[in-house]
Amino acid sequence: MSTVDLAPQELRTLVAVAEEGGFSAAAVRLGTTQSAVSHAVRGIERKLGVVLFERGRFGARPTPAGARAVSHGRRVLRMLDVLVAETRSGSPAEVAGPLRIAAFRSAALHLLPPVLERLTARHPALEPTVTVVREVGPGTAGAVAEGRADLGIATFGTSAPIPPELVGDVLLEEPYSLVHPAGHPDPRSLPLVDWLENCSSYTRTWWAAQDWIPTATVRAEDDGAVLSMVSSGLGMAIMPALSLTGAPLSTQITDLGPDRPTRQIGYVTTPELAGTAAVRALVRELRELREPRELRAHANPAATTTKPQLRAV
Amino acid sequence: MSTVDLAPQELRTLVAVAEEGGFSAAAVRLGTTQSAVSHAVRGIERKLGVVLFERGRFGARPTPAGARAVSHGRRVLRMLDVLVAETRSGSPAEVAGPLRIAAFRSAALHLLPPVLERLTARHPALEPTVTVVREVGPGTAGAVAEGRADLGIATFGTSAPIPPELVGDVLLEEPYSLVHPAGHPDPRSLPLVDWLENCSSYTRTWWAAQDWIPTATVRAEDDGAVLSMVSSGLGMAIMPALSLTGAPLSTQITDLGPDRPTRQIGYVTTPELAGTAAVRALVRELRELREPRELRAHANPAATTTKPQLRAV
DNA sequence: CGCATCCATGAGTCGCCCTCATAGCTTCGC
DNA sequence: GCGAAGCTATGAGGGCGACTCATGGATGCG
């Protein structure tokens, strides 16, 4: 037996240092002193016999070993939370505890509220928190992979590929539409407004095939800003349905026809969290989105995967 | 933040109490005093606000909440071990540390040895241990679910269903055959020898449809005992191929024809361990069982991984 | 060079957890 | 009924680990 014990407080210290990028900042987050963090990290490194952080003027950056330790540490901490929550609640059916959701902006605004309402109605002891994450770079899936969230609402096909160690499923497919100021005679002649997260490769291909689409002349910060620009008459945009829910009356939405591009929205989570009662309850509610409710979303349940009873590793 | 911290030492105390069945015995195992165990358990119960053990003359038995805590605790402790092992070893390719395998008797005897030989040849620092678990009740899957093993070799379809929080895959399907004393003129007239773990529902159905099969007159402890009885001329038996490997020369095996029953053998592990280097290395070796080894050189590696990139939950 | 901002280190303090000793409870055997 | 033999519960005291405080060293910046 090597008998190396890492206390939860030590794991939290590792995670804080990695996320804050320095001992001092980590100390602030942990509500302790820089000295305590330094002592703790040094102690852990001595116990493990491995240097976990490169120190320097810049602060502290994880070494490869440190990155592994931090990633595992986050998962262990999360499992400890699950232990506490599921030990306290009388049965697995009784779902309780925190549930951290990462979502991109439009999903957080238009997709999640009704889902979370039903979820908390069914499980009052559940405390879901939603973090808005830019769907660029690692995106929401990255937040889940790094243990910052328990479940992510992600767009598939757009942005970076999903890390292989995550599991998930597609929830719905939504079309892109043309949005422009209401009553404009020739909206396609307007300048194009684009935004950062709007970068599906499939969409881009379709985009390039349309000769009427100009290169973007305006680039906004997020889809909400795009919509506000369009409603002010500054131009037109091509946006997914989710970003267009609740679009102001001064805008007009035009279908792009049968060849319109679409994007897939789904959820991702880690295998070990997929089994927890809280995540499963949320996934159950999210699946309801696949059944076409009378409202807007053009859900396409056709492509639902046939699931084997046992999932391969 | 409720922020209830359970130190590894506390988790080990819970596990020890549950497994030893009492505070005093747990104290001996932990190399500490009964008083320390009592204080620790009481402290944990106060932190969680839940009674974890029923105390009495008999010692201590886990309450339902206690059983959940112990089961989660074992898994957290295991993940902490993995954290230490994988942080220390230079790369994920460098696999090291203990690997606990639960298997039913015939798999441990006839299936695992060559697999483990190849595994340890490839990863000398890996220390696999095999525990033989009766495939009755929770079986090997139960051992994995409760954190007593990292990976289980299980029969699917037979015994209890696999707990939903586990993951795994089928490795091979093997037929049942008739085994009887060599040279017997009418083996089907012999009395039937059965054993405890032999209880697949599918097999039973097939069984009932065969008019020549009598009800079992002898019931042995395990498949090895059955085989020994058969070889002594005490009767005939219907056994899966794995139990018949290395059957003595005094026995004779007769194929049961195209409608013969079969059983599926596979592996089971927890989602959080499925991602660890050690378990993945073992699974890779186990997968070799699916294809005859001499074909492996020509096998298309892509064909073995035709699984969807995202696994549904 | 003075300054700001990092981390490192040593001494002192506090709190937690363990040990020791003992008390309470239940179940046997007689 | 009574004591012995199992358990666990509890209180007092001590040791060790973790934190704080104060200070020092390294490094980049104007």
The answer on pLDDT for B290 being more than 60 is yes
Residue A2 lies in a domain: no
Residue A203 has pLDDT above 50, yes or no: yes
Residues B67 and B126 occupy one common structural domain: no
- Assigned domain for A84 exists: no
* A182 plus A247 within the same structural domain: yes
pLDDT for res B137: 76
Helix (H) or strand (E) holding B238: strand B237-240
Confidence band, pLDDT 50/70/90 cuts, at residue A110: confident
Which has more confidence, A297 or B253?
B253
Distance from CA of B87 to the nearest CA of A (A): 5
The per-residue pLDDT for A296 is 35
Residue where one domain finishes, among candidates A261, A276, A294? A261
pLDDT score for B158 = 65
Answer whether residue B306 is part of any domain: no
B203 and B220 belong to one structural domain: yes
> Over 80: is that where the pLDDT of A303 sits?
no
B4 → chain A, closest CA residue: A84
Residue B18 buriedness (CB in 10 A; 0-12 / 13-18 / 19+): buried
Q: What integer is the mean pLDDT of A126-150?
A: 83
Give the distance, in angstroms, between residue A66 CA and nucleotide C3 C1'. Answer: 33
Contact A168 B313 (CB under 8 A): yes
> Which positions of chain D lie under 7 Å from any protein Cβ?
6-11, 18-23, 26-28
| Closest chain A C-alpha to B198 CA, distance in angstroms | 22
Token pair 């805008």 is found at: A251
Domain count, chain A: 3
Q: Average pLDDT in the B72-83 region?
A: 92
Burial class from Cβ neighbours inside 10 Å (0-12, 13-18, 19+) for residue A270 reads buried
Where residue B302 falls among pLDDT bands split at 50, 70, 90? Answer: very low
pLDDT digits (tens, 9 = 90+) for A273-282: 887 888 988 9
Instruction: Report the amino acid identity of residue B209.
Output: A
Share the mean pLDDT of chain A: 79
Q: Are residues A147 and A16 in the same domain?
A: no
The two three-digit tokens of residue A168, written as one number: 């998930």
Q: Does residue B102 carry a pLDDT above 60?
A: yes
**B156 and B282 housed in the same domain:** yes
Q: Which two tokens stand for residue B67?
A: 């059983």
pLDDT at A26: 93
> Best of B41, B87, B309 to disrupt the A interface by mutation (most A CBs within 10 Å)?
B87
Distance (Å, rounded) from C-alpha B41 to C-alpha B300?
A: 54
Whether A38 CB is under 7 Å from strand C: yes
Which has the closest alpha carbon to B270: A238, A249, A210, A271?
A: A271
Domain presence at residue B226:
yes
E-strand stretches of B92-166 = 97-103, 126-132, 151-156
Beta bridge partners of A56: A59
CB A180 within 8 A of CB A252: yes
Range name among A195-204, A300-309, B64-73 with the lowest pLDDT average: A300-309
Nearest to A242 by CA among A146, A110, A153: A110
B51-59, long-range: CB < 8 A, 24+ apart: B52/A87, B52/B14, B53/B17, B53/B18, B55/B23, B58/B21, B58/B22, B59/B20, B59/B21, B59/B22, B59/B23, B59/B24, B59/B25
Among residues A236, A247, A176, A248, the alpha carbon closest in space to that of A206 is found at A176
Give the integer Cα–Cα distance in Å for B67 and A90. 12
Tell whether A287 and A231 lie within a shared domain: no
Does residue B85 lie within any of the structural domains?
no
pLDDT exceeding 70 applies to what percent of chain B?
82
- B257 CA: distance to closest CA in chain A (Å): 29
Q: Work out the mean pLDDT of chain B and round it to a whole number.
A: 82
Query: Which comes out higher in pLDDT, residue B169 or A222?
Result: B169
> Does residue A81 lie within any of the structural domains?
no
> Does B216 or A237 have the greater pLDDT score?
A237
pLDDT at B93 over 80: no
Partner A contacted by B313 (CB < 8 A): yes
Domain presence at residue A29: yes
**What is the rounded CA–CA span in Å between residue A162 and residue A166?**
7
pLDDT band at A238 (very low <50, low <70, confident <90, very high): confident
Based on the fold, state whether residues A111 and A229 are members of the same structural domain.
no
Q: Who among A2, A6, A167 is closest to B311 (CB)?
A: A167
Mean pLDDT of B38-50: 91
Q: Report the amino acid identity of residue A268.
A: V
Query: Could you list the residue range(s) of the whole structural domain that residue A288 is in?
Result: 98-173+263-303
- Neighbouring residues of A214: CB distance < 8 A, sequence distance ≥ 6: A191, A192
What pLDDT is attached to residue A215? 61
The reply to whether B192 and B250 lie within a common domain is yes
Tell me the CA distances in angstroms from A126 to A96, A120, A270, one per residue in order: 4, 6, 19
pLDDT reported for residue B265 = 92
Q: Is A76 helix (H, G, I), strand (E, B) or coil?
A: helix
Q: Mean pLDDT over residues A7-20, rounded?
A: 94
Answer yes or no: is B82 within a domain. no
Same structural domain, A45 and A178? no
Cβ-defined contact of A167 to B307 (cutoff 8 Å)? no
Contacts of A169 in chain B (CB under 8 A): 310, 312-313
CA of B42 to C1' of C25 (A): 17
Name the residue with higher pLDDT: A72 or A215.
A72
- Asked whether residue A304 carries a pLDDT value surpassing 60, the answer given is no
- Give B237-273 pLDDT, tens digit per residue: 888 899 898 788 888 898 888 888 888 899 999 888 9
Task: For residue A18, give the CATH number of its domain.
Answer: 1.10.10.10
Q: What is the tens place of the pLDDT at every residue in B132-181? A: 998 877 889 999 998 999 999 998 866 667 887 788 889 998 888 889 98
Contacts of B80 in chain A (CB under 8 A): 5-6, 76
The rounded radius of gyration (Å) of the Cα atoms in chain B is 23
Min Cα separation B106/chain A (Å): 23
Nearest protein residue to nucleotide C6, judged by CA and C1' positions: A57
Please check whether residue B272 is in contact with residue A75, taking contact to mean a CB–CB distance below 8 angstroms: yes
Which element (helix H / strand E) includes B14? helix B8-20
Taking the CA of residue A57 and the C1' sugar atom of nucleotide D27, their distance in angstroms comes to 6
Is the minimum CB–CB distance between B169 and chain A shorter than 8 Å? yes
To the nearest whole angstrom, how far is the Cα of B118 from the nearest Cα of chain A? 20
Question: How many degrees, rounded to 5, is the angle at CA B183 between CA B180 and CA B186?
Answer: 65
Tell me what pLDDT residue B281 has. Answer: 93
Ordered alpha helix ranges (H), B138-179: 139-145
Distance in angstroms, CA of A88 to C1' of D8?
24
Please check the confidence at residue B296 and state whether its pLDDT lies above 70.
no
- Decide which of B281 and A90 is more confident: B281
pLDDT at position B199, please?
60
Say yes or no: B115 and B102 in one domain: yes
A43, A76, A109 — which closes off a domain?
A: A76
Q: Give CA–CA dist B5/B303, Å, rounded.
A: 46
B161-171: burial string, b at 16+ Cβ within 10 Å, e else: ebeebbbbbbb
pLDDT digits (tens, 9 = 90+) for B186-216: 878 788 887 766 665 556 667 667 767 666 6
Residue A218: per-residue pLDDT = 67
CA angle (B251, B255, B261) in 5-degree steps: 115
Q: Are residues B181 and B169 in the same domain?
A: no
Residue among A28, A7, A6 nearest A17 (CA): A28
A153 shares a domain with A112: yes
Q: Which residues of B270-295 are buried (b: 16+ CB within 10 A; e: fewer)?
A: bbbbbbbbbbbbbbebbbbeeeeeee
- For A287, the closest chain B residue by CA position comes to B313
Q: What is the pLDDT of residue A297?
A: 35
Contacts of A271 in chain B (CB under 8 A): 167, 271-272, 274-275
A5 vs B8, B65, B69: nearest CB: B8
A39 touches strand C (CB under 7 A): yes
